[in-house]
Amino acid sequence: MVVTIDTNVLFQAFYSNTGASHKIVRMVRDGEIEMAISVPVFQEYQDVLSRPENRKLLDLKQSDIDSIMDFVVTVGRVTHIPYLWRPNLRDEADNMVIELARSSGSQYLITKNIRDMTVDSDLMNDDIGIVTPGDFLGIWRKRWE
């Protein structure tokens, strides 16, 4: 199963090792699910994790961030986005995540901001499950455990 992971979920996974976001990243690590990645989303991950206030909050050194990004490149399913879908969401970073989900054929887009991914979109995203980390784990457990 291929999923797209929003930046806020990746951030939360490194903020707390007890929550659903952390479990999802462990599932990616263990090969239970595949994580789609594109150049723009990779750059967004790197930018957010590298911000001084976030590095301090997450207690990460630059070498830690480099290791996280190496992990993302190693396990991620690199997806070329042949054209821009432009769902025209309020936040450009959200547009990039929707584009990745569509182009990669992700079954789920996992985000903590469902509203941001659906309000004012010019595209219908009924074929992609836009879910929170907790909801994704519930779906996963019902289906695979």
Residue 34: give its domain's CATH number: 3.40.50.1010
pLDDT score at 97: 87
Structural domains counted in the chain? 1
141/89 Cα distance (integer angstroms): 31
Quote the pTM value.
0.89
Mean pLDDT calculated for residue range 50-69: 96
From the list 103, 112, 106, the residue with the least C-alpha distance to 129 is 106
- The distance of Cα 73 from the centroid of its chain, to the nearest Å, equals 13
Question: Which residue segment(s) compose the domain that 66 sits in?
Answer: 2-144
**Higher-pLDDT residue of 86, 6:** 6
Helix, strand, or coil (residue 130) = strand
pLDDT score at 26: 96
**Higher-pLDDT residue of 85, 55:** 55
